[in-house]
């Protein structure tokens, strides 16, 4: 016998109910809560506190506190299991007891029954409220016995099976703001989203985090635009919907997260339920599960009739950008909808850095400089390039950085002339120059610095000649950085110095790029503005002589001109040689 959900069309929910016929009551209750998350309704829900779900009392903290509160409910658990054992032969009765019994248990706790009361008789449940479930549309068959609250417990019960070798539960992996701890506050993320809403001018937009899972090497990385808007870097499948003309202010900017999946969480770590603590931490007034996104998007498109692409367009040889692919499907189902180009909105916002972002980039630059110290302390003829790279990146971590912002380049001799060289264990020979192009990532923001070090500790005459030409180009180009100039104009300044010295054919790349959460950050094009950070990196590469010199600094555009954020890292040949001697003394 198959028991239907109170809201038609929810096949996933019904599937979990059907499975309850072969499970005991405790496991069936967990399956219901994990598979559906509660009643798929958007009407007012009443829970342990007796208020509707928009009331303050209903919005409790999420995560481990909820599980501890649930674990402290033995009477409710025993009663629920007794009902399940008594009626196991009747699936519909079993499901009714699983859902209704959970409500009864919470009601007992709310009134202070058993151990659920504090020292002065205050129900503990008031401080440990479960997830508030929100859904897209009204339910025509809402019943009083339908549980609208989802809660998971961590305490074992007699009816719960587990492996005798089971270890501790996975650590929690809540949706988090990636850079909050380093200085990007939730208010700044909210302000970024507000700017997007204004820039859309009434059109509907969506930004997707991207899907997938953690690779065997490295970690899964979210779409940088999504991270910039939310601070969340650990929620595959998430999305933000922008609906500027929604009549409900809480629906003008909605975060969508994938439903909880207990089986996957055994591998990847637990995720938080939706609750007021999550909304407060992330700065969203409404957070939904992703199964509601199609309904929200369809309603928004019907009302606004305008859909705006925020993701960058793909080339003809690549798959269509995610939001454009979605909008094409919507336009086939909603008459009169137009699709607009808003791909310049996010690059324009990301390119101009806030004071908090600049502070993080300075920390990344300082961590990079610490890596230089570790590298130079062991730099000598005969050392392996990979050993130098390991020492460099260890220095990043010692200075507080999380990782390298991109693939580190450590190339000696002829390898220094390969622009994107990857170390394969080459040896540093006496008389080589070692080109080091690297950058630490601190709280999600990158540095990008290139320096050249002589293996012997002293530059040869020829090496110094080439080095000084590149340094002159770097200095003159940096002085030209100011609001109103373009990267193309800066490239011309840099190239003129190198051409005049006779090395024009050995300068094959451009002058630089924007820098931020990505090493090659979003580029809005056009003229530089105050707050932008760009790299200046001229170079000369002479493969036949085994000499490659590239010098790179990170430069902030200011109202008055510019500020070289990496000026404290030695650049002249004399300063570099002195730096190496000092590092070797501290070895």
In SS3 terms, 36-81 reads as HCCCCCCCCCECCCCCECCCHHHCCCCCHHHHHHHHCCHHHHHHHH
- The count of other CB atoms within 10 Å of the CB of residue 25 is 27
Q: From CA 109, how far away is CA 105, in angstroms rounded? A: 6
**pLDDT value, residue 425:** 79
Q: From CA 234, how far away is CA 236, in angstroms rounded? A: 6
Per-residue pLDDT of the chain in tens (587 residues, 90 and over written 9)? 444 444 444 444 444 444 443 344 444 444 444 444 443 334 433 433 444 433 334 344 444 444 444 444 444 444 444 444 444 444 444 334 433 444 444 444 444 444 444 444 444 444 444 444 444 444 433 343 333 333 333 333 344 444 433 444 444 455 655 444 457 999 999 999 999 999 999 999 999 999 987 788 888 899 999 999 999 999 999 999 999 999 999 999 999 999 999 998 888 889 999 999 999 999 999 999 999 999 999 999 999 999 999 999 999 999 999 999 999 999 999 999 999 999 999 999 999 999 999 999 999 999 999 999 999 999 999 999 999 999 999 999 999 999 999 999 999 999 999 999 997 779 999 999 999 999 999 999 999 999 999 999 999 999 999 999 999 999 999 999 999 999 999 999 999 999 999 999 999 999 999 999 999 999 999 999 999 999 999 999 999 999 999 999 999 999 999 999 999 999 999 999 999 999 999 86
CB 413 within 8 A of CB 421: no
CB 186 within 8 A of CB 170: no
**Which CATH number does 180-350 carry?**
3.40.350.10
Q: From CA 563, how far away is CA 555, in angstroms rounded? A: 6
* DSSP per-residue codes, 145-211: T---EE----S--TT----TT--PPPPB----BTTGGGT--HHHHHHHHHHHHHHHTT-BEEEE---
CATH 3.40.350.10 domain extents, the chain: 180-350
Which class would CATH give 352-585? alpha beta
* DSSP per-residue codes, 250-317: GGSEEEEEPPP-HHHHHHH-B-PPP-HHHHHHHT-S-EEEGGGHHHHHHHHHHHH-EEEE-SPPPPTT
Q: From CA 57, how far away is CA 50, in angstroms rounded? A: 8
Q: Half-sphere exposure (CA, 13 Å, Cβ side) for 133?
A: 24
Q: What are the distances in angstroms from CA 83 to CA 30, 94, 278, 423?
A: 15, 7, 34, 65
CATH 3.90.230.10 domain extents, the chain: 352-585
Nearest to 433, CA basis, from 407, 408, 406, 460: 460
């Amino acid at each position: 016998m198959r028991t239907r959900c109170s809201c038609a069309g929810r096949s996933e929910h019904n599937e979990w109910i059907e499975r309850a016929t072969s499970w005991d009551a405790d496991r069936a209750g967990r399956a219901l809560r994990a598979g559906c998350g509660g009643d798929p309704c958007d009407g007012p829900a009443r829970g342990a506190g007796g208020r509707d779900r928009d009331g303050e009392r209903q919005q409790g903290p999420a995560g481990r506190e909820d599980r501890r509160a649930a674990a402290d409910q033995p009477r409710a658990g025993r009663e629920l299991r007794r009902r399940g054992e008594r009626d196991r032969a009747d699936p519909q009765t079993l499901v009714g007891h699983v859902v209704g019994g959970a409500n009864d248990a919470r009601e007992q706790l709310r009134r202070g029954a058993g151990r659920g009361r504090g020292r002065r008789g205050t129900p503990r449940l008031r401080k440990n409220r479960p997830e508030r479930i929100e859904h897209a549309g009204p339910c025509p068959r809402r019943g009083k016995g339908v549980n609208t609250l989802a809660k998971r417990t961590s305490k074992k019960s007699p009816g719960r099976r587990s492996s005798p070798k089971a270890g501790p539960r996975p650590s929690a992996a809540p949706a988090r703001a990636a850079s909050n701890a380093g200085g990007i506050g939730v208010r700044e993320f909210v302000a970024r989203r507000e700017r997007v809403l204004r820039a859309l001018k009434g059109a509907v937009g969506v930004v997707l985090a991207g899907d997938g899972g953690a690779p065997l090497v490295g970690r899964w990385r979210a779409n940088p635009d999504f991270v910039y808007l939310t601070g969340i870097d650990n929620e595959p499948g998430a999305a933000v919907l922008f609906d500027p003309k929604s009549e409900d202010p809480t629906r003008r900017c909605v975060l969508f997260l994938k439903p909880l999946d207990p089986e996957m969480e055994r591998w990847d770590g637990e995720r938080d339920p939706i609750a007021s603590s999550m909304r407060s931490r992330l700065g969203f007034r409404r957070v939904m599960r992703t199964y509601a996104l199609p309904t929200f998007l369809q309603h928004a498109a019907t009302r606004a009739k305008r859909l705006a692409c925020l993701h960058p367009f793909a080339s003809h040889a690549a798959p269509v950008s995610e939001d454009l692919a979605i909008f094409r499907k919507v336009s086939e189902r909603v008459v009169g909808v137009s699709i607009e180009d808003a791909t310049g909105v996010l690059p324009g916002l990301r390119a101009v850095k806030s004071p908090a972002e600049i502070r993080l980039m300075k920390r990344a630059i300082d961590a990079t400089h610490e890596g230089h110290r570790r590298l130079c302390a062991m730099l000598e003829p005969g050392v392996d390039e990979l050993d130098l790279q390991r020492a460099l990146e260890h220095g990043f971590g010692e200075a507080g950085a999380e990782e390298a912002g991109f693939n580190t380049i450590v190339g000696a001799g002829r390898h220094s002339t390969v622009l994107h060289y990857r170390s394969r264990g080459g040896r540093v020979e006496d008389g080589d120059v070692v080109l080091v192009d690297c950058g630490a990532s601190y709280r999600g923001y990158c540095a990008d610095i290139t320096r050249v070090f002589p293996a012997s500790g002293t530059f040869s005459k020829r090496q110094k000649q080439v080095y000084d030409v590149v340094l002159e180009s770097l200095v003159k180009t940096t002085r030209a950085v100011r609001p109103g100039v373009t990267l193309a104009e800066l490239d011309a300044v840099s190239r003129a110095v190198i051409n005049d010295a006779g090395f024009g054919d050995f300068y094959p790349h451009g002058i630089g790029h924007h820098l931020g959460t990505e090493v090659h950050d979003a580029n809005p094009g056009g003229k530089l503005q105050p707050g932008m950070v760009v790299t200046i990196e001229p170079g000369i590469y002479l493969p036949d002589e085994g000499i490659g010199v590239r010098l790179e600094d990170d430069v902030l555009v200011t109202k008055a001109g510019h500020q070289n954020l990496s000026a404290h890292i030695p650049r002249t040949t004399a300063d570099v040689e002195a730096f190496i001697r000092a590092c070797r003394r501290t070895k």
